[in-house]
Amino acid sequence: MDMISKLPPGIIETILCLLPIQEAARTSILSKEWRYQWIKIPKLVFDEDTFKVSTNGVELSGWEPTFEAPNQRKEMTKRCRCFYAIFQVLLMHEGPIHEFTLSIGADDSCIEIDQIIFHLSRKNTVKKLTLEFLWRYKLPKSLFSLQQLTDLSLICCDLYHQPTFNGFSRLTSLCLEGVMTCKETLLHLLSNCPLLDTLLLQDIRDITVDETDDSTIINLFECLPVIRNLSLFSEVIKSFAQGGVPQKLPTALIHLKYLCIENISFIHIQGLPILGLLIRSSPNLEKLKIGIKEDSLNLEYSLYDKAEICYSLDVDNYLDIWLENLNELEIINMTNRDNDMDVVKLILGKSPMLKKVKVYEATKDEEL
Q: Could you tell me the residue ranges of all domains in the chain? A: 9-41, 42-195, 214-295+308-368
274 φ/ψ angles, rounded to the nearest 5 degrees: -65, -45
Report in angstroms the alpha-carbon separations of 224 from 53, 175, 184, 261: 45, 14, 15, 16
Contacts 24+ apart (CB under 8 A), 7-14: 12/37, 13/40, 13/41, 13/42
Number of helices (H), then strands (E), belonging to the chain: the values are: 9, 13
Closest by CA to 38, choosing from 65, 59, 17, 64, is 17
Q: How far apart, in whole angstroms, are the C-alpha atoms of residue 34 and residue 5? A: 8
Mean pLDDT confidence for 7-16 = 81
Q: How far apart, in whole angstroms, are the C-alpha atoms of residue 206 and residue 238? A: 12
CB 156 within 8 A of CB 137: yes
As a whole number of angstroms, the longest Cα–Cα distance in the chain is 78
Q: How far apart, in whole angstroms, are the C-alpha atoms of residue 331 and residue 81? A: 44
Q: How many CA atoms lie within 13 A of 149 on its CB side?
A: 24
Written as one letter, the residue type at 58 is V
Query: Which of 77-81, 308-312, 318-322 has the highest average model confidence (pLDDT)?
Result: 318-322
Work out the angle between the directed axes of helices 338-349 and 271-280 (0-180°, nearest 10).
10
Mean pLDDT confidence for 26-48 = 80
- Which residues, including other chains, have CB under 8 Å from residue 140's CB and lie 6 or more apart? 113, 114, 117, 118
Judge residue 158's burial from the number of C-beta atoms within 10 Å of its C-beta, 0-12 exposed, 13-18 middle, 19 or more buried: middle
269 φ/ψ angles, rounded to the nearest 5 degrees: -60, -25
pLDDT, tens digit, 9 for 90 and up, residues 242-298: 778 998 999 999 999 999 999 999 988 889 999 999 999 999 999 999 999 876 444
Neighbours of 232 (CB within 10 A): 22
pLDDT, tens digit, 9 for 90 and up, residues 79-114: 777 788 888 888 888 889 999 999 887 766 678 888
Q: How far apart, in whole angstroms, are the C-alpha atoms of residue 242 and residue 57? A: 60
pTM for the full predicted model: 0.83
Q: How far apart, in whole angstroms, are the C-alpha atoms of residue 121 and residue 302? A: 49
pLDDT classification of 157: cutoffs 50, 70, 90: confident
pLDDT, tens digit, 9 for 90 and up, residues 64-84: 333 444 566 666 676 777 788
Q: How far apart, in whole angstroms, are the C-alpha atoms of residue 160 and residue 181? A: 6
Mean pLDDT confidence for 54-63 = 34
